[in-house]
Amino acid sequence: MITLHDIPALRAQLADWRRTGQRIGLVPTMGNLHAGHIALVRAALSRANRVVTTVFVNPLQFGPGEDLDAYPRTLAEDARRLKEAGNHCLFVPAESELYPRGRDGHTCVEVPGLSAELCGASRPGHFRGVTTVVAKLFNVVQPDVAVFGQKDYQQLMLIRRMAADLDCPVEVVGEPTVREPDGLAMSSRNGYLTADERARAPALHRVLVEAAEAIGAGRELARTEQRAMAALAEAGMRPDYLSVRRQSDLGHPGPRDGALVILAAAHLGRARLIDNLECSRPTGP
């Protein structure tokens, strides 16, 4: 595995691979890699001849008072895990490499509408930062395929929308959420949890499963959302939101929409946990 830090060197390496007709895969990350990230790399390896994984803690997607400075940075361990997984190139740019005009002077990419809902309502500007850096990486790497985790369901939908709107010639693939044995979705921020909080954290997934079962049984959506929010609070969490949406576009479901997804975010100590679960409901004739 090679490690590169500047765009010209990366483009030169990619040009060498493309000259021999090799298909390029991209896995963007912020580092502090866990098994969920490695699953994304393996998914990319199954779809491409060469895989570039990026590690960049993107300042544009952090709001005031969020954990930009505290976000765990474990580059040496990340590189070891990526090499063992068979990753071909690790791209670790400095902030000045991606944003030479600074954070406030850089052109931004924003998907209207959905960027301001759900996690976007709680974290204004967050998704503008995400779509900006992903658009930048799509331009730099020009991958044939890019792989993202479905744990960040809204993010995945926004990236797909951005790629379609901007005619990016890349296949955007979503991979299933990787979970701990007790159901907690793997996340770099799980390390913020104390032992007691970690014991309570799987309640988020359990509540989603219970809500999905209620929806599958034909229960009313608004009432199911209310009960699920109450269950999160009873589990010792501070719910941010829990919302049932259409899988296709995260719009509010109409009476004939059967393919749904439940999305939730809740605070537990220092951590803000997010998760989701796809489900379906009977829609009748």
Domain membership flag for residue 86: yes
Predicted pLDDT of residue 140: 98
Domain end residue (candidates: 128, 148, 175): 175
Range of 48's domain? 2-175
Domain end residue (candidates: 145, 175, 205): 175
Beta bridge partners of 259: 280
* Angle (CA) 107 74 108, round 5°: 5
- Residues 27-38 have pLDDT tens digits of 999 999 999 999
Domain membership flag for residue 181: no
Domain membership flag for residue 244: yes
Say whether both 117 and 250 belong to one domain: no
Query: For residue 265, which amino acid is it?
Result: A
Domain membership flag for residue 47: yes
DSSP per-residue string spanning 197-209? HHHHTTHHHHHHH
Domain membership flag for residue 97: yes
Predicted pLDDT of residue 285: 61
d(C-alpha 271, C-alpha 7), whole Å? 33
Predicted pLDDT of residue 237: 98
Domain membership flag for residue 182: no
- Residues 154-210 have pLDDT tens digits of 999 999 999 999 999 999 999 999 999 999 999 999 999 999 999 999 999 999 999
Domain membership flag for residue 183: no
Say whether both 59 and 11 belong to one domain: yes
pTM: 0.96
* Angle (CA) 182 186 190, round 5°: 95
For residue 37, indicate whether it is catalytic. yes
Say whether both 205 and 135 belong to one domain: no
Note whether 114 and 66 are within 8 A (CB): no
Residue 7 has pLDDT above 90, yes or no: yes
Contact partners, residue 281, CB within 8 Å, separation at least 6:
215, 216, 218, 258, 260
Say whether both 33 and 165 belong to one domain: yes
Say whether both 8 and 79 belong to one domain: yes
Predicted pLDDT of residue 247: 97
Burial of 14 (0-12, 13-18, 19+ CB in 10 A): buried
> CATH code at 126?
3.40.50.620
Provide the number of structural domains found in the chain: 2
Strands 271-280 and 259-268: antiparallel
Place of tokens 């299933």: 176
Query: For residue 271, which amino acid is it?
Result: A
Burial of 179 (0-12, 13-18, 19+ CB in 10 A): middle
> CATH code at 259?
3.30.1300.10
Predicted pLDDT of residue 283: 81
- Residues 128-162 have pLDDT tens digits of 999 999 999 999 999 999 999 999 999 999 999 99
Band of residue 284 on the pLDDT scale cut at 50, 70, 90? low
- Residues 260-281 have pLDDT tens digits of 999 999 999 999 999 999 999 9
Say whether both 154 and 259 belong to one domain: no
Domain end residue (candidates: 175, 203, 230): 175
Say whether both 15 and 153 belong to one domain: yes
Say whether both 266 and 143 belong to one domain: no
Residue 254 has pLDDT above 80, yes or no: yes
- Look over the chain and give the mean of its residue pLDDT values, rounded to a whole number: 97
- Residues 72-131 have pLDDT tens digits of 999 999 999 999 999 999 999 999 999 999 999 999 999 999 999 999 999 999 999 999
Say whether both 95 and 155 belong to one domain: yes
**Given 37, 88, 126, 205, which residue is catalytic?**
37
Domain membership flag for residue 219: yes
Say whether both 171 and 192 belong to one domain: no
Say whether both 87 and 142 belong to one domain: yes
Say whether both 142 and 193 belong to one domain: no
Query: For residue 209, which amino acid is it?
Result: V
